[in-house]
Amino acid sequence: MEPETPVSTLLPTRRRLSLGLALASVLTGVGAYTASAASAATAPSPIPLTSAACPANLTQGEADGCVTQLQLELNLTGAKIAVDGQFGPATGTAVRGFQSSHSLTADGIVGPATKSKLDAAAAAASGTTVDLRTQCGDLRTGASGACATTLQTMLNTFGAGLGVDGQFGPATDTAVRNFQASHSLPITGIADTATKNALYDSTPTPRPSGPIDSAKVLNAAKSYLGVPYVWGGGHSLRGEGPGPSLGTCDGYTGSIQPCPANTTAGLDCSGLVRAAFWFGAGIDLANGGDTTEQTLDKHLTPITEAQRRPGDVEYFGTDAHNTVHVVLYAGTDPATGADMMYEAKETNTNVHYVTLHTGGYWYHVSA
């Protein structure tokens, strides 16, 4: 078992996440949304509406890069409002106007349905969309242009939170893999025919909210079986958001040399747990932090081993808040009667479903 990646030594967690998303989103402002970018020169850097850095519902009074992005997209679809990152009355009026013209409830609240329609309308208005099924071949890392732009825009309607820059890089690769995992497709990172068809045929749904359904969390973890363990994988080091990603060779001490982490997309132990709760419950534990930072997350409550139940997490280390490894308790396997867990263990192995290891520190995760 490799010790947990010290991602907190790279950048403070929330700052790292916000920085990565903001830098990616600035590309949106100078690419597809150039028409409105000049007026946003002094506004907060735009952040994709569907990113983890934006609230599920944007409402009047919000002031940040999410509002900057909202205003940029509203202007692209016909509004004429100042781009200042402040959700005031004029922005509320523009939102209600957009909602009315797109058969949405005109309540001025920018929720998942409004975000999805607005992202699509803004991309269409910018003239960047193509039909992935008929105008593009298989798309993979290195692809660029209108096909990559449209792919990013469509992935955003499923919550990817990508900067729409027309460059198929690590963040887009992660988003494709996450989409494939959530739609029972082979996890290849390549937008092939099956993946593109699923993008067009599937209905975007908001991330889970409310009380945690442990079955959804465990199903999310199950979708990553076979994904490689990667040192630092799944920690938004480049602003990708939760899910498999390239890792880092900073602090790597594994036996496999040279370090494969910055050339392989995958998950480390806390990256797996992070992805399971993000896609299964809409909770981003520690915003991409390591195991120790996760144990300090407000959603975790210490429990005893006897109190454990499926969906609980077990951390291993010198004490309850100084940890190096984490596993997700899967419950008792009905076929064998053994207690099982989902785990990303070490380099040169894959995420697996194995007999539970005990002796760590147990936590229950709640909304």
Domains delineated in the chain: 33-127 (1.10.101.10), 129-205 (1.10.101.10), 211-365 (3.90.1720.10)
Is residue 311 within 8 A of residue 219, CB to CB? The reply is no
What does the CA dihedral 278, 210, 201, 243 come to, rounded to 10 degrees? 0
What residues contact residue 5 under an 8 Å CB cut-off, 6+ apart?
231, 232, 235, 247, 248, 251, 268, 270, 290
Q: Give me the phi and psi of 325, to 5 degrees please.
A: -155, 155
List the structure tokens of 77.
């679809």
Q: Residue with structure tokens 């081993």?
A: 305
Which residues, in sequence order, are bridge partners of residue 340? 331, 355
How big is the chain, counted in residues? 367
Q: If you ran DSSP here, which 8-state letter would residue 325 be given?
A: E
pLDDT tens for the chain, 367 residues: list them: 667 655 544 433 332 332 223 223 322 332 223 333 334 457 888 887 877 778 999 999 999 989 998 998 898 888 989 999 999 999 999 999 999 888 889 999 999 889 878 877 776 666 556 789 988 899 999 988 888 888 988 887 787 777 677 789 888 888 898 888 878 899 889 999 999 999 988 876 666 777 899 999 999 899 889 989 999 998 877 666 788 878 899 989 888 999 999 888 889 999 999 999 988 898 999 988 999 999 999 999 999 999 999 999 999 999 999 999 999 999 999 999 999 999 999 999 999 999 999 999 999 999 9
List the structure tokens of 323.
């940890």
Which of 129, 240, 263 is CA-nearest to residue 178?
240
pTM of the complete model = 0.58
What residues contact residue 172 under an 8 Å CB cut-off, 6+ apart?
141, 148, 151, 152, 155, 162
